[in-house]
Amino acid sequence: MHELLRLARSIRCDAADPGQAFSHRLRIGVLVAVLILLLSLLG
């Protein structure tokens, strides 16, 4: 659990620009979706 929290802090985006924060969240969301898809196909 501590490793997951540390990972979440490392990919956190504290940008003041809303556009940059949105694009960061979008990239992270796509990455998580791809990981879930790969795990479901392999599992």
pLDDT one-digit tens code per residue, 2-33: 888 887 787 777 778 888 888 888 998 999 99
* pLDDT higher than 90, residue 39: yes
Within 10 Å of residue 23's Cβ, how many Cβ atoms? Answer: 13
Q: Residue 12's pLDDT is what?
A: 79
Whole-model pTM: value is 0.65
Q: Residue 31's pLDDT is what?
A: 92
Q: Residue 36's pLDDT is what?
A: 94
Alpha-carbon separation of residue 27 from 20, 22, 43 (angstroms): 11, 9, 24
Q: Residue 30's pLDDT is what?
A: 94
